[in-house]
């Protein structure tokens, strides 16, 4: 995940001022949810498998797979996941809402079906979705973090297009890293995100064939108090039948 996209996700999770805390909470949650699996586990990420190194260090057999760059190009015919046909995993997970960056709804559903086909019977899929809070064009939203007198990070996001029928929003993202008055790194990109309703996504998983869908909020283990509208991130866990 590049810097601009990573910052956008952290901003959505209210973690821009403490990215380490968000990462730590996610790592603790996934470590607990995956702790019972002795076989192969796959993390799917955008340009980088974020949790895989730490989870592997905790004794889990976690592999990382990066989604092909072509998937994020408009009108692409690229397969969302190029998984080896013979490979089956005990669990597949996609953290930090990265699944929503697949630009087309049909492709996103196809990606879920691909995951289903590569999970062992009684295995699980775990996916984070970030709540889409903006539904209209907005003024630029700017955040700054000054670590000391010489180092500054600047992030700006602006929704420039929203498609209510396709349920997707496009943002213009800018990320800058300044040191001693000099800009050392600048990223600017257009990024499209899908959105799903919580109950809608549960139905999508069930339609594909998953069962026992559980929903957690903000990396807290699923229970009757979670999944409410004030959460920033929803984690869906579902089982593939025998």
Sheet holding 141-146, edge to edge: 141-146, 151-163, 168-179, 182-194
Residues 198 and 188 in one domain: no
Q: Work out how many domains the chain is built from and give that number.
A: 2
Residues 71 and 176 in one domain: no
Residues 75 and 164 in one domain: no
Length of the chain as a residue count = 242
Tell the burial category of 114 from Cβ atoms under 10 Å away from its Cβ (0-12, 13-18, 19+): middle
Asked whether residue 155 is domain-assigned, the answer is yes
Residues 20 and 114 in one domain: yes
CATH number at residue 125: 3.40.50.150
Per-residue pLDDT of the chain (242 residues; tens, 9 = 90+): 566 666 666 666 665 455 667 778 888 899 999 988 889 999 998 777 888 888 987 788 998 887 755 555 544 555 555 566 568 999 999 998 889 988 889 889 988 998 999 999 999 999 999 887 777 777 777 777 777 778 888 888 888 999 999 999 998 988 888 898 899 988 888 888 999 999 999 999 999 999 999 998 888 765 545 446 677 789 999 999 87
Residues 185 and 198 in one domain: no
Residues 186 and 91 in one domain: no
Structural domain harbouring 91: 3-131+194-240
Residues 104 and 146 in one domain: no
Residue 116: strand, helix, or coil: helix
Residues 107 and 20 in one domain: yes
Domain boundary residue, one of 152, 170, 192: 192
For residue 20, give the H/E element and its range.
Answer: helix 19-34
Residues 106 and 209 in one domain: yes
Asked whether residue 136 is domain-assigned, the answer is no
Residues 231 and 150 in one domain: no
């Amino acid at each position: 995940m590049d810097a601009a996209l990573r910052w956008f996700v952290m901003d959505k999770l209210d973690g821009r001022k403490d990215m380490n805390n968000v990462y730590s909470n996610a790592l603790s949650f996934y470590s607990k949810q995956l702790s019972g699996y002795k076989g192969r586990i796959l993390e799917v990420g955008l340009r980088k498998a974020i949790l895989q190194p730490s989870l592997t260090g905790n004794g889990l057999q976690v592999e990382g797979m990066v989604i092909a760059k072509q998937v994020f190009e408009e009108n692409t015919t690229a397969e969302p996941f190029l998984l080896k046909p013979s490979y089956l995993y005990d669990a597949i997970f996609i953290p930090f809402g990265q699944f929503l960056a697949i630009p087309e709804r049909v492709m996103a559903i196809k990606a879920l079906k691909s995951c289903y086909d590569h999970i062992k019977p009684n295995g699980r899929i775990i996916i984070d979705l970030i709540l889409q809070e903006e539904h209209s064009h907005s003024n630029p939203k700017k955040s700054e973090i000054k670590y000391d007198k010489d180092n500054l990070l600047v992030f700006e996001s602006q929704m420039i297009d929203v498609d209510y029928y396709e349920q997707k929003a496009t943002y213009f993202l800018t990320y800058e890293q300044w040191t001693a008055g000099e800009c050392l790194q600048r990223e600017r990109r257009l990024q499209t995100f899908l959105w799903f309703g919580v109950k809608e996504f549960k139905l999508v998983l069930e339609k594909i064939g998953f069962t026992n869908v559980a929903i957690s909020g903000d990396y807290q283990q699923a229970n009757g108090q979670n999944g409410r509208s004030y959460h920033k991130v929803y984690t869906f866990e579902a089982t593939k039948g025998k």
